[in-house]
Amino acid sequence: MLTTLTDYQILARRLLATCLLLVAGWGHAAESASPQANRTILIVGDSLSAGYGLAASDAGWVDLLARSLSDYKVINASISGDTLAGGLARLPRLLEEHKPRWLVIELGGNDGLRGHSLATIRDQLSKLIALGQAAGAEVLVMEMRIPPNYGKRYTQKFTAVFSEQASEMNATLIPFFLEKIALQAGMMQGDGIHPTALAQTHMRDQVLNQLKPLLSRARGD
């Protein structure tokens, strides 16, 4: 039982100190959750980002990007053979787990190689972009290209899907990062589809050129 003014003063001071600690904790949590404090970059891709066929597990362009952006957390959630549908199945959990500030979508190549309908490709890509944006991430879409196995019309319309959806949904388009190296000696593996270790720095630079302005803007540079 409290019997003196001193007891009330002590209790009041303790309550005040507790409130200040709670306020400080809330402020710290808010700062940690703010876009400025979030430096996570999530890459969701297929074999081109998973480092397929490379002798060293850390020689892929995503690993090189992580080393170039040492102040950022780069998560490589790429799986060889993955498709847009596979990315849609995995992305909600990845967004919840990593809460990225930036999302790079490198998917669709396997869909094109399998001749999936352009309407389905467009729909699934738009859903991936929408999921990322709804989670508060700034989305970058990597343009995909395929050999003309299904004819010139399909091939051209397939590539156009990526720029069209990026434009419609206010996402950043990363031009096809194999365009300048696909015909260079030593840059492609024997299958003619997957790049060699020599090509990985060029691929990283292509992505980094598009990513850097977004990082600078987030920092307020």
pLDDT for 131-151, tens place per residue? 999 999 999 999 999 999 999
- Residue 186: φ, ψ to 5°: 80, 0
Distance in angstroms (rounded) separating the CA atoms of residues 121 and 116: 7
Higher pLDDT, 180 or 49: 49
| Cβ neighbours for 137, distance < 8 A, ≥ 6 positions apart | 42, 95, 100, 101, 102, 103
pLDDT class of 180 with cuts at 50, 70, 90: confident
Q: Percentage of residues in the chain with pLDDT exceeding 90?
A: 75
Distance in angstroms (rounded) separating the CA atoms of residues 74 and 59: 14
Higher pLDDT, 179 or 16: 179
Strand runs (DSSP E) across the chain, as ranges? Answer: 40-45, 73-76, 102-106, 138-142, 172-174
Tell whether the model's pLDDT for residue 92 goes beyond 80: yes
Mean pLDDT of the chain: 88
Higher pLDDT, 179 or 127: 127
The predicted model gives 151-180 an average pLDDT of 96
Catalytic machinery residues: 47, 191, 194
Tell whether the model's pLDDT for residue 12 goes beyond 80: no
For residues 70 and 7, is the Cβ–Cβ distance under 8 A? no
pTM over 0.95: no
Tell whether the model's pLDDT for residue 32 goes beyond 80: no
Distance in angstroms (rounded) separating the CA atoms of residues 154 and 180: 22
For residues 148 and 155, is the Cβ–Cβ distance under 8 A? yes
pLDDT class of 25 with cuts at 50, 70, 90: very low
pLDDT class of 39 with cuts at 50, 70, 90: very high
Distance in angstroms (rounded) separating the CA atoms of residues 128 and 105: 8
pLDDT class of 14 with cuts at 50, 70, 90: low
The predicted model gives 112-121 an average pLDDT of 98
Higher pLDDT, 14 or 105: 105
Tell whether the model's pLDDT for residue 170 goes beyond 60: yes
pLDDT class of 107 with cuts at 50, 70, 90: very high
Distance in angstroms (rounded) separating the CA atoms of residues 44 and 50: 9
Tell whether the model's pLDDT for residue 23 goes beyond 90: no
152-168 and 118-134 helices, crossing angle to 10°: 20
pLDDT class of 81 with cuts at 50, 70, 90: very high
Distance in angstroms (rounded) separating the CA atoms of residues 84 and 120: 9
